[in-house]
Structure 1
Amino acid sequence: MRPVLATSHGLVHGVTGPAGIACFKNIPYAAAPTGPLRFAPPQPPPAWDGIRDAGTHGPTAPQAPYPPPMDRLLPETLVPGEDFLNLNVWTPDPAGRLPVVVWLHGGAFTNGTGSLTGYDGTAFARDGVVLVTLNYRLGAEGFLHLGSGDTAGANPGLLDQIAALTWVRDNIASFGGDPDRVTVSGQSAGAMSIGALLTMPAAKGLFHRAALQSGAAHHTLSPASAALVAARLASILGVPPTRPDIAAVPVEQLLAAQLQLRGEISARPDPALWGEAALNLMPFEPVVDHDTLPRTPRDAIAEGAAAGVDVLVGCTADEFRLYTVPSGLGALVTDDLVERTATTYGLPPGAGVAAYRAAFPGASPGELFAQLATDWFYRLPALRLAEAQARHGARAFVYEFAWPSPAFDGALGACHALDVPFVFDNLADPAFAPLLGDTPPQPIADSMHAAWVSFATTGDPGWPAYGEPHRAVHRFAAAPATSRDPHGELRALWDDVR
């Protein structure tokens, strides 16, 4: 018999899968963001009569497909429709009082969905955790901001996430979840979103732990940078740079303009043209508008804005190789580009690259470039988040994922996004095959998934907390180990870089 459960807006009819796991898909947590609600904060969904079918995934947020070669490496599921502010729930026991994990997908704030088969929550539910995945607005629709004079507010995409977390608080008990034990978890843009949520007043109290994969609290736009991006977007669209004029543009035209804009930033990453977006090449991301996001998350967390929230945070060993190896960029990198990249990131001229050459002897210029970008974009933000939380009375646990992908003859290493199927214990999902190959190591998935379950359940993933002077980092690899301050000399090199 298909299970029927009650939400605050109506009854939902789910399905029962393997081992008695009940799944409910396409539950609206906010109204469709169309018409006057486009670019506006999320509003409650309308109630429905009868029993809503929750047996299949619903629409996904509008987005352009990944460009080659990423379209072959990163799985996508695109379903058209306006009611894409929906979520999915997996539960082993609707009568229980179980810990909850709310998953925020990645995709550089322009791609992704909570409906990927790889995010199937059966393994979490099997192990006693209620899992929730969701969609949120992407690109300009989620993160457009016209600068300091834009009083309409910013970050609808983050506000969507908060609306979903509010739905969890108000409804998850009906699905067997404990609203007082919610862990928000995410990867890449999802983890960067969590870095912002940790400091947003509207998110306070909606979650109690946070697990951040390959993203932390360092990548946001100022209103001035967001205004530069918005002005160029409006110019490409041929409309005035106002919210109503951009909101009147059809979705497909807006998506095409976003692609052109991102291409222009990548081709000419000049801070005078794009502000902070010139460094991380993401034109749409959380904006510090001094209202929804009052301060930069990096500074707010350093001063204790997220005090008391335990975190699990880390990255993969070779994050940036996903962007340099398949594209062929790594083979074009010169020693001069490595030096210019290091100094652009703020490392001391000469000495910065010399330290990396000493730490990675024999590395090619492309490999050094990828390592520098990995550390600046992912590793250092993770460590600084852990350090801040430890200083302010929370427990912080740091990890590194180091199993190398067999793709591209092993040149990808442990690249960005490779760890996701291990956390979900979904190695058999065909969508991950291009990165995982034919025989990914199940023991690593067993240990990594168990660590996330343990953290959500008890607050402890199974290794010592990070903090001075020990700085424990657990490495998920064929030979797992917990070490003290790995590559500490490089970490110290970045201490004066903010």
Structure 2
Amino acid sequence: MNTELQLASGTIRGERGADGLTVFRGVPYAHAARFTPPKPVEPWTGVFDATRPGPISPQPPVRPDAVMGPPQAGLRQDEDCLNLTVVTPGVNGPRPVMVWIHGGAYVTGASSFGFYEGRRLAAEGGIVFVAINYRLGALGYLKLPGVAPGNLGLLDQVAALRWIRENIGNFGGDPDRVTVFGQSAGAHSVACLMAAPAARGLFRQAILQSAPLGLKLATPARAARVARHFTTALRAEVTTAPVEAILAAQDAAIQRVSGPGGLASPPFCPTAGTDALPGADRWTAEAAGAGVDVMIGTTSAEMNGFLNGKPFSERIERVPLVGRRGLETVKRLATRRVFETPSLRFADTLARAGRRVFTYRFGWAASGSIFGACHCVELPFLLGEREAWAGAPMLAGADWDDIEEIGRPLRQAWISFARGGSPGSAAHVPGSGPGRIWTGPVPSPDSPAEVM
């Protein structure tokens, strides 16, 4: 059944399901030409069809396929990709709002992938769920003087939050109760938004899932080096080159800066001291002063998602004096240094600034998976439907009914926090040992093992 809704920019048509939820897909929140900041959408005439997903940012194949499974097929790629999805239980609000920002190393991904469907959160929590698409890779984060200002993907996210503040009431959402949450690069984006003056007042709570805060922000010098590699590989006019050429040059720059493994800080990512971010010496303090309450955590074996399986494990195991045992040590140290310890230090900084802070660690692992409690493993418990996750190698051997059982209290913890409360005891999932989620006072950042 189709449902029409009136916005300031025009009428949109969404789709109401048998579960009572209405979904509006591909809703434009801004428009931008290549390498220009986002601008508000122009009003349209007639009815905008929001029953189908909008285009996603041009990108190479999604790297986490080997862990999460293949993403949703058939989504069109286009530079005009500034759109979002809204899932609402009804327009009779005001309801809390949860805004999802996807990950993908700032190079791949889309919030319109089936992985990130928010129906369960909307239905179980009575919340309005929003998922945003933004510009990725060179199109979103190239910093090239006179051509590309940098941080355009982050500015897209700010524009989406402004659109949500102005329009979410029409969907039954409360613009004064917005929680932004994201995973991986999406969580890193959330931390950046907390530090961005332009985003002040647009959300009051944040959830950071597996934020790679140990990779920090790009410096202007590093961004300039990436730009040199990019333009050298492109060999064409940056503003008019075909998007296929942009992606090829982007890949070449990534290979030059990060190496074949691509496990260093993403070359195309937010740059400190560039609109809308403060300098690297101030961004943590700015985030702490944003007045945002936070829930932050990691999985217990983040790096398994990057270093387990071929080709990474075989390559590292062949290195002299490393081998299989050394690889396990590398994974533990990298998990701690890239994800766990910096997340706890960030939490500690926020707590000292007087914010409410909750921490967690997710340790569930599928019985038949080589990946264990890896990067991304908590996502099926929160987002997406059975069909979207059916081919996920990280879930090998798991029964979806068990995922549903464990996921229900986990989702309730996220929902309780979004409603302005505490995740509390709802975050203790059934079972014991590594399947337990922990929340509570912020542990010492120097002893991350205490989280469990």
- Normalising by structure 1, what TM-score? 0.81
Task: Indicate whether 1:311 and 2:294 are aligned.
Answer: yes
1:491 Cα shift? 4.2
Match of 2:109 among 107, 112, 119: 112
2:422 to 433, 442, 460: 460
- Stretch of structure 1 that moved more, 385-394 or 174-183: 385-394
* Distance in 1 separating the partners of 2:126 and 2:312: 43
Distance in 2, matches of 1:423 and 1:461, equals: 14
Counterpart residue type for residue 234 of structure 1: T
Contact 2:15/2:24 (<8 A) preserved: yes
1:254 equivalent in alignment to 2:246: yes
Question: Who is 1:439 aligned against?
Answer: 399
Structure 1 residues 451 and 72, CA gap change in structure 2 (3 angstroms): closer
- 2:371 maps to what in 1? 412
SS of equivalent residue, structure 1 residue 114: coil
SS in 1 for 2:129: strand
* 1:79-90 mapped onto 2 (5 Å cutoff): 79-90=76-87
Q: Which residue type is aligned with residue 236 of structure 1?
A: A
Deviation (angstroms), 1:2: 2.0
Contact 1:61-1:136 at 8 Å conserved across structures: yes
- Secondary structure of the residue that 2:149 maps to in structure 1? coil
SS at match of 1:232: helix
Counterpart position of 1:196:
192
Cα distance in 1 for residues equivalent to 2:263 and 2:383: 31
Q: 1:230 aligns with which of 227, 230, 239?
A: 227
Which region of structure 1 is more displaced relative to structure 2, 411-420 or 177-186?
Answer: 411-420
Contact 1:444 1:476 in 2 (8 A): no
Give the gaps of 5 or more residues in structure 2: none
Whole-angstrom CA distance in 2 between matches of 1:6 and 1:258: 40
Structure 2 match to 1:323: 306
Aligned positions of 1:245-284 closer than 5 A: 245-267=237-259, 280-284=264-268
Maintained 8 Å contact 2:413/2:423? yes
Query: Is residue 161 of structure 1 aligned with residue 157 of structure 2?
Result: yes
| Deviation per residue, 1:276-322 (Å, 9 max, x gap) | xx9724111101134421122x7432466434211011111111111
Q: Is residue 73 from structure 1 mapped to residue 69 from structure 2 by the alignment? A: yes
Provide closer, same or farther for how the CA distance between residues 308 and 291 of structure 1 changes in structure 2, counting only shifts above 3 A: same
For 1:384, the aligned partner's letter is R
382, 387, 390: which one pairs with 2:351?
Answer: 390
Q: Which amino acid aligns with 1:318?
A: A
Per-residue deviation, 1:411: 2.8
Do structure 1's residue 285 and structure 2's residue 242 form an aligned pair?
A: no
SS in 2 for 1:246: coil
**2:120 alignment partner in structure 1:** 123
What are the within-5 Å matches in structure 2 for residues 349-498 of structure 1?
Answer: 364-406=325-367, 409-424=368-383, 426-430=385-389, 433-437=392-396, 438-440=398-400, 441=402, 442-463=404-425, 477-480=434-437, 490-491=447-448
Distance (Å, rounded) in 2 between the aligned partners of 1:299 and 1:443: 42
Return the offset for 1:452: 0.8
**Alpha-carbon offset, residue 65 of structure 1:** 0.8
Contact 2:195 2:287 in 1 (8 A): no
SS of structure 2 residue aligned to 1:280:
coil
**3-state DSSP of counterpart to 1:111:** coil
Q: Which runs of 5+ in 1 are unaligned?
A: 240-244, 270-277, 340-362, 466-474, 493-498
Do 1:103 and 1:133's aligned partners in 2 also have CA atoms closer than 8 Å? Answer: yes
Partners of 1:192 and 1:8 lie apart in 2 by 31
Aligned partner of 1:61 among 53, 57, 64: 57
1:275 maps to what in 2? none
SS at match of 2:86: strand
The 1:449–1:162 alpha-carbon spacing in structure 2 relative to 1, beyond 3 Å, is same
Identity over aligned pairs, percent: 40
Distance in 2 between the 1:419 and 1:68 partners? Answer: 14
Q: 2:30 is matched with which residue? A: 30
C-alpha separation in 1, matches of 2:18 and 2:305? 34
Aligned partner of residue 201 in structure 2, secondary structure: coil
- Equivalent position SS for 1:458: coil
2-structure distance, mates of 1:304, 1:85: 25
The one of 138, 141, 147 equivalent to 2:139 is 141
